[in-house]
Structure 1
Amino acid sequence: MLISLEIENFAIVDKLNAEWGPGMTTITGETGAGKSIAIDALSLCLGERSEASAVRPGSERAQVSAQFDIHNLPKAQEFLANNDLLSDGECLIRRSINNNGRSKGYINGIAVTASQLKCLGQYLISIHGQHAHQLLTKPEHQLHLLDEYAGHTKLQSHVKQTFKDYQELKREFQKLSEEQVHQEAQQQLLQYQVQELDEFSLTKGEFEQIEIELNKLSHSQTLLDACQQQIQNLFEQDGTNAFNLVQSSASQLSELAAIDNALTPISELLYEASIQIEEATNEIKDYQAHIECDPIRLIEVEERMSQALTLARKHQIQPEQLYQLHQELIKKLDNISTNNARLSQLEQLITEALVLYHMASKSLSASRVTAATNLNQLISASMQHLSMEHGLFEISLVYQPDITPNKFGSDSVEFLVSTNPGQPLQPLAKVASGGELSRISLAIQVIIAGKVTTPTLIFDEVDVGISGPTAAAVGELLRKLGKSTQVICVTHLPQVASSGHQQFFVAKHTDGIQTSTQMLALDKKGRTDEIARLLGGTNISKATLTNAKELLNSHL
């Protein structure tokens, strides 16, 4: 429930501070005085778009603060808890707008975004504007009103989710289908390329081994001859081989070491060198024994090298990259096969998703039928109460399983009315006059507002086009609603204004330089005078005062 509203430098308001109570509060004032200014400010406070023009001329910034009692509002409490916006049962919302158009919002002193303000606002206030009846003829708005009255949010969410699942599968199917068109043209080429590389069957690192082997085979005789020459030089050549020379030097230095033992380490090094020469010779012999002079193997290796080079040129890559290319082409070919299998799977999944969507839509439709039946009776009764004695209202709801799936379900809806005896039910836009449309719209808004658990309902001149006995009925309707919900109503009708438990008067003042608007809480005498003004205009007679008192007393 709204407790207080403070406004500074907003539009033509200099400073305004209003406290609000439970029940029904009416706001009246002269034409052009700015009766809706408080509602505009409250909308801004709760996240509506800010503009520099909202700041009072000559001021640096405008500021609006609204305090709410949320003890009995679990959704609002949950929002505050989830966003770490502490609350002790009351909630203070503040928004400031600089004259450059930039704004800042705060909840309980903590800075928040405009979207957070708007999200919290939906749990605090519902505003019904004076042009709501213009939306009433639009099918999408009619469906929204029916769903709002039904309150079947879980069913709506289920339809939206099944539709989303269906859409995602359709998108994947479309994407894969488009890819398949291109892939099918490549598939034959890929199959040929993979088969060719399969037949060649080059293993990882094999080309590098082929290069090494080919080099050895083509130089095998050179290697054999060189090895034999080194064996001779190191060990087997008579007299002058390296082993004998080093052994001889080591022996001579060993004898000289008897004269000077400083030569002993040198002699030992030479003995070690002779041993290493012998070991190196043995290694060369072992290497020589394994050298292959195999012309047939050389031809095989040369042929494989030639095939590798040919394939590499064909694919315009280095031969070392053939193995990697082979694996990539296999993967591409597998992906095409996988995509084909996935497409078949998707066709089945889409069929199943569509079944689930239709099941969800049918459940939602059944709930809508129940809600529509109740609304038909309630709105018909309310129309008759609002001076349409023979008024009938009916919601035409048709389940259409063949329409393109959408997040709202498979129902088409149309509001039908009959306002005169013998007149058949026809679409609302074709039958109702402007005044009748306003009354029907008001009846629907009040009935739906009574069902929806928004703690504060604001009606901004929704009684346009209504007068006489109908105005009294509207007042009774809103006052009755105020017993269970806080109702704030901007009105120009004395019958509606007198129905409120409280009343504010909006007045505009000017000093010739600047204009300002004030909103004053009226006491009983003030209310009597204001009701009399609404009844009789500027010339208030005793009769109009008496009439005003009667209107006020009728609600005590």
Structure 2
Amino acid sequence: MLAHITIHNFAIVKTLELDFQGGMTTITGETGAGKSIAIDALGLCLGDRADASMVRPDEDKADISTTFSLKNNHAARRWLEDNDLSDGDECILRRVITKEGRSRAFINGSPVPASQQRALGQTLINIHGQHAHQLLMKNDEQLTLLDQYAGHQNLIAAMGKRYQAWRSARNTLKQLEKNKEAFEAQKQLLEYQVKELDELGIGENEFPELEAEHKKLSNCGDIAMGGQAVIQTLSDGEETNAMQLLQMAQQQLAELCTMDSHFNELAQMLEEASIQVQEASHEVTAYMDRLDMDPQRLSYLDERMAAVMRLSRKHQVQPDELYQTHQQLRTELEKFSNSDEKLDSLSQEVEEKFQACLVAAEKLSKSRKRYAKELDKRISASMHELSMEKGKFHIDIDGNPQNSLSPLGFDNIEFLVSTNPGQPMQALGKVASGGELSRISLAIQVITAQKVETPTLIFDEVDVGISGPTAAIVGKLLRQLGKSTQVMCVTHLPQVAGCGHQQMFVAKESNKGKTTTKMVPLDDCSRINELARLLGGSEITEHTLANAKELLIAA
């Protein structure tokens, strides 16, 4: 429920703060006073598009904030929790618009995109504008109203899910069939490439190993010469070598150790070094004994590496990446090898998903027809109350599953009416006059609104074209709706205004060349005066005051 709104520098509003109650609230005022301005401001907090013209002249920004009570509003609570924006039993929406046209949106103090405010707003408020009857002539809007009345959210969600699954499978099948010839050509290329790589049979880490072995064999002579030189330096040199020098140093340190114990540790270090040098000499000698100069093996390595590099250049990869390329091409070829089987399997899958769509669509269509009959009776009865005693309303539903399947099923909806005896049922926009269309539209909105879960309903001058006794009935319908839902109604009709549980008055003032709109709640006395003004115009008489009191008593 909408609990509070604060408006600063919006359009011709300087500052406005309002508290709202449950039940039915009517909003009245003189023509041009800006009766819908609070609703326009509220729309911004619900994610409507903002622009610079909304900022009051000579001000830097407009700031609108609304507070909603979330008691019993499970849909809004769930949305806030799912989006990590929950803050207890209240929800605060805020919108700031600068004079340059930039805007910022907030939910419970957290900055959010306007689209999130719009998504949350659908769980908080349902606004019926004064041009709603024009929308009613559109078939898609008629379908939406019927589904809202019937509570088809789950059925539509299931239908949409199955439809998307069918469309996705069907598009995949079409793409496969379209590209079948290209697939065959690509398959032949893959078969040739894989066969060539199979014949090469390169191992996962083979090329680096080939490189290492090739490097070793091609440098055998240099390795042998270098190894022999190392052995001479370490131990086999006739004139001098590392072992001899270490032994001389050890002898010298041994004499120093007898004179100073400080050299004991150094002597130990030299002994270890001598052991290391001796072991290194033995290792080099052993490796030289095992070194095998094999020209045939080197020739094989040359040929093998050349074959690998030739194919790597062909596939535009590094030689050490050729193994992975081989595996990838094999995987792709396996997919192509199963393409015919996949086409058959996918064709069957598409048909199965289509049949699942039809089952969901048939279930949705059956439910629509059941609720359409219920709605036919209720709207026809409401038309009788609204001075169309012989009026009839009917929802025509037809559709071809094979040609008109969509995420919403296959039904085509048409609202048909007959307003006079003997008149055939025809499309809503073709039969009804302006006044009749307004009354029928209002009846449809009031009846369907009773099934909508949003806790606040706003009717913005939807009673245009209605007057006299009919207006009194409209007021009673809205007041009845206000017993279970918060209803706000912008109206110019005293019969409707008097039915409100509370009433607000909008006035426009001019001071020093600047215009300001204000909105105030009316007490009983002020309310009688305002109803008298609506009844009699600018001149309020004892008679109009008495009539105003009667309106309140009747409500």
TM-score w.r.t. length of structure 1: 0.79
Name which of structure 1's ranges 346-355 and 545-554 shifts more when overlaid on structure 2: 545-554
Matched, 1:452 2:449: no
Alignment of structure 1 residues 415-434 onto 2, 5 Å = 415-434=415-434
CA contact (8 A) 1:180 1:336 kept: no
1:364 alignment counterpart:
364
Deviation of 1:128 after TM superposition, in Å, equals: 0.5
CA distance in 2, matches of 1:208, 1:17: 79
Secondary structure of the 2:450 match is: helix
CA distance in 2, matches of 1:215, 1:65: 78
Name which of structure 1's ranges 399-408 and 449-458 shifts more when overlaid on structure 2: 399-408
CA contact (8 A) 2:404 2:411 kept: no
Bigger-Rg structure (1/2):
1
2:62 alignment counterpart:
62
Q: Which amino acid aligns with 1:506?
A: V
CA distance in 2, matches of 1:196, 1:83: 56
Name which of structure 1's ranges 442-451 and 493-502 shifts more when overlaid on structure 2: 493-502
Q: Deviations over 1:105-151 (max 9, x none)?
A: 44444444433333332222211000000010111101100011011
Q: Which amino acid aligns with 2:33?
A: A
2:147 alignment counterpart:
147
Secondary structure of the 1:451 match is: coil
Alignment of structure 1 residues 36-51 onto 2, 5 Å = 36-51=36-51
2:499 alignment counterpart:
499
Cα distance, 1:532–1:345 mapped onto 2, change above 3 Å? same
Alignment of structure 1 residues 272-351 onto 2, 5 Å = 327-351=327-351
1:514 alignment counterpart:
514
CA distance in 2, matches of 1:74, 1:197: 63
Alignment of structure 1 residues 395-406 onto 2, 5 Å = 395-406=395-406
Secondary structure of the 2:100 match is: coil
CA distance in 2, matches of 1:87, 1:535: 45
Q: Deviations over 1:347-377 (max 9, x none)?
A: 2221111121111111111221121111111
Cα distance, 1:179–1:520 mapped onto 2, change above 3 Å? same
CA contact (8 A) 2:7 2:64 kept: yes
Q: Deviations over 1:144-186 (max 9, x none)?
A: 0001101121111111111122222233334444554322123
Cα distance, 1:201–1:439 mapped onto 2, change above 3 Å? same
2:410 alignment counterpart:
410
CA distance in 1, matches of 2:204, 2:69: 75
CA distance in 2, matches of 1:43, 1:117: 10
Deviation of 1:533 after TM superposition, in Å, equals: 2.1
Identity within the alignment, %:
51
Cα distance, 1:183–1:510 mapped onto 2, change above 3 Å? same
Deviation of 1:313 after TM superposition, in Å, equals: 8.7
Aligned-residue Cα RMSD (Å) equals: 4.3
CA distance in 2, matches of 1:5, 1:499: 23
Q: Which amino acid aligns with 1:98?
A: T
Deviation of 1:413 after TM superposition, in Å, equals: 0.9
CA distance in 2, matches of 1:67, 1:335: 58
- Which structure 1 residue ranges, 5 or more long, are not aligned? 228-241, 251-260, 263-268
Q: Deviations over 1:30-56 (max 9, x none)?
A: 111111011111112232222222121
CA distance in 1, matches of 2:358, 2:436: 37
Deviation of 1:388 after TM superposition, in Å, equals: 0.8
Secondary structure of the 1:466 match is: coil
2:548 alignment counterpart:
548
Q: Deviations over 1:231-288 (max 9, x none)?
A: xxxxxxxxxxx9xxx99999xxxxxxxxxx99xxxxxx9xx99xx99x979986x888
- Which structure 2 residue ranges, 5 or more long, are not aligned? 225-231, 241-250, 253-273
1:22 alignment counterpart:
22
Cα distance, 1:464–1:325 mapped onto 2, change above 3 Å? closer
Q: Deviations over 1:448-494 (max 9, x none)?
A: 11111222111000011112222121111111111221211111112
CA distance in 2, matches of 1:499, 1:315: 83
CA distance in 1, matches of 2:111, 2:64: 14
1:256 alignment counterpart:
none
Secondary structure of the 1:506 match is: strand
CA contact (8 A) 2:52 2:100 kept: yes
CA contact (8 A) 2:24 2:487 kept: yes
Cα distance, 1:333–1:492 mapped onto 2, change above 3 Å? same
CA distance in 2, matches of 1:321, 1:482: 74
1:538 alignment counterpart:
538
Cα distance, 1:411–1:404 mapped onto 2, change above 3 Å? closer
Cα distance, 1:515–1:330 mapped onto 2, change above 3 Å? same
Question: Number of aligned pairs?
Answer: 520
Deviation of 1:304 after TM superposition, in Å, equals: 8.6
Cα distance, 1:212–1:500 mapped onto 2, change above 3 Å? closer
2:268 alignment counterpart:
none
Cα distance, 1:126–1:212 mapped onto 2, change above 3 Å? closer
2:355 alignment counterpart:
355
CA contact (8 A) 2:376 2:395 kept: yes
Q: Which amino acid aligns with 2:509?
A: H
2:384 alignment counterpart:
384
